[in-house]
Structure formats: structure tokens, C-alpha cells
Amino acid sequence: MPELPEIETVRLQLSEVLPGRIIERVEVLKQKSFIGDKQLIEGKKVIGVDRKAKLLLIDIEGQIDLAIHFKMTGQLIYADKNRRIAGGHPTGDFTGDLPSKHTRVIFHLDRGTLYFNDQRIFGWVRTGTKEEIRQMKFLQELGPEPPEIDEAEFQKILIKIKKPIKLALMDQTRISGVGNIYANDACWEARINPRRLANTLTRKQYSDLYNGLIKVLKEGIKYGGATAADAKYIDLHGLGGHYQEHFRVYDREGEECLREDGGIIHKYAMGGRGTYFCPKCQG
DNA sequence: TTAAATGTTTAAAT
DNA sequence: CATTTAAACATTTA
């Protein structure tokens, strides 16, 4: 569930258990999922857990970072004899036997175990010195994330982009952290058609969009991110977030618009991603 | 059987 | 060269 609120939720949860732990051994089950030298972190202590947009950064003693990108289906599960903390793409792996068939990397800790699972193998785990990680192309090209830019800066960035507003919001090199769910919901909040070109909004629309985006991102974090609606087994164990119960338009095709204007949420593909909107209030 | 899935990454086109 | 679009990546589920 890789979007800023979901990764932030994972960060907050892991911050409760990882600091102070020693990574005794790293077991790589899928070579494609691991980049770098595992010996850089073996035997080292975890200092803290940070995040940059959708990238999770685990701070390791000795100026080392462990960067983890979830992409579409990555998940991180911490398990010890007392509890299990899971975040990322919601699947039965959260509560089933570990390692599962999707486990790609296992971090054996002095107390507990951290599993990196990734169904589609798009995600990656990477080790490096803090400098090496900072120099990564991905981080170098990342734009600012919404909470750290104000309304004026937000407008300044978007007015230079000549593509549909929803795609502009999802362009990580311009604005980072926003993915498909929150881009869809932010457009609804601001009553803007997702297809509208980013450089053609009115002053008020930039303002509404900025506020709408901040609102849905904050709400996403508040509810612990989104978890697939069909992941009941996860809710039963208290391992899932609840933003999905507050979706404005995402995954609501055919349902009534929340504004009670009688609109029915439509869905179509734009940029290869599901795009949802209400033809009445986002016409 | 075909389509789609919370994201980049790379190649191609403009 | 900078910007935008399309395909690719690999697997599972509807």
C-alpha cells in the first residue's frame, strides 16, 4: 500500500520495535529484491526509522542506511514471540506462516524477525552508506512532498506542467508521496476533473486542490493508511489501516457521489491507472 | 480468457 | 536537451 500515508504508518509502527535491535543476519531469498552489500548491516544496530516520500529508510549505526521501496505489492512484517506488526500490501501473509512464498528478504534480529515480502517483485531493498543512498537517482530526482511546500509553491510547480492534473500530482519528480488513491480523492475534494491540464486551473482551484490533498493525506495517516476492502482477515487481527472506509471516489465505481448531488462515480483508465470521478461535481 | 492491481523505470516520441 | 507518453516489470485475483 505504497503511498505516503501507508509508508508513514509503517514507519511509525516500526519505530516502536526496531530501534536498538541488532541485525544479526540477512537472508536474501530473491536476488532481484536486494541491492548492495548485506555485510554492511549485519551485526549492526538499528538507530531509527525514517521516510522520504514513499521510500522507507532504516537508519543503521555507522552512517549506514537500509532503503526499502514497496512499489505496488511490498510489505514489511515484524514478528517476535509476543506480536506481529505488518504494513504494506495487504495479503494473507500478514497473518499466515512466515516466511511465505512471497518473502524475498529476511532480517534476523537479536530479538524478532523482519520479513520483506513482495508478490510482484517490483520493490527493492538496498543497503549503502548514507551518502550512497542520498546520491541515488530516485532520491535525487524526488520533488518536495506536500506537507513541506505551501500553497504558493504548490501552484508554482503545477502551473508548469502540461499534463492532466491527476497525473501531475502523481509525478514523483515534481511532487512526491502522492499515489493513485490520494490523487483521485484529492481531485474530488477540490471538485476538479482529473483530466484537466495542470497548468490551466484557476487560482481558487490550485488552492482547493492543495487543501484537499493535505486533507486526504492527513486523514490517510490518521486512519493508518488504506487496506484492501476484502482483507477481512487483516482487520480481524488489527493489522490493517482504515482509510479505505473513507475513500471519496477511489474504488467506488458505480456508487453514489458522497456530495449527494446524485452523481454516479465513473471510472476510466488514464496513464494506465484507474481514474475515478463524479461527472456532476467534477464535470 | 482478459483485465486490473496503493509504482516506478526505461524506451520512445514530441 | 527537457517534457510527456507508452510499454515493461512479475504475480495474483476478479
Whether A138 CB is under 7 Å from strand B: yes
Whether A122 CB is under 7 Å from strand B: yes
| pLDDT per residue as tens, chain A (283 positions) | 457 889 999 999 999 999 999 999 999 999 999 999 999 999 999 999 999 999 999 999 999 999 999 999 999 999 999 999 999 998 989 999 999 999 999 999 999 999 999 999 999 999 999 999 999 999 999 999 998 999 999 999 999 999 999 999 999 999 999 999 999 999 999 999 999 999 999 999 999 999 999 999 999 999 989 876 455 567 677 788 899 999 999 999 999 999 989 999 999 999 999 999 999 999 8
The pTM assigned to this predicted structure is: 0.96
Q: Give one word for A53, left, alpha or beta, with left for phi > 0 and alpha for psi -120 to 50.
A: left
Find and give the residue nearest to C7, measured CA to C1'. Answer: A272
Is the peptide bond between A279 and the residue preceding it cis, with omega within 30 degrees of 0?
no
Query: Using a 7 Å CB cut-off, which residues contact strand C?
Result: A 32, 91, 101, 119-122, 160-164, 167, 230, 271-272
The A113-118 sheet, strands edge to edge? A34-35, A124-129, A64-69, A55-60, A44-52, A22-28, A103-109, A113-118, A74-79, A84-88
The active-site residue, picked from A2, A5, A164, A194, is: A2
Q: How many residues does chain A have?
A: 283
- Whether A106 and A29 have beta carbons less than 8 Å apart is answered as yes
In terms of Cα–Cα distance, which of A73, A64, A55 is closest to A26? A64
Separation between the CA of A24 and the C1’ of B7 (whole angstroms): 31
Separation between the CA of A256 and the C1’ of C1 (whole angstroms): 47
Q: What is the pLDDT of residue A209?
A: 98
What is the nearest nucleotide to A183, using C1' and CA?
Answer: B6
Let me know if A256 is a catalytic residue: no
Q: What is the pLDDT of residue A84?
A: 92
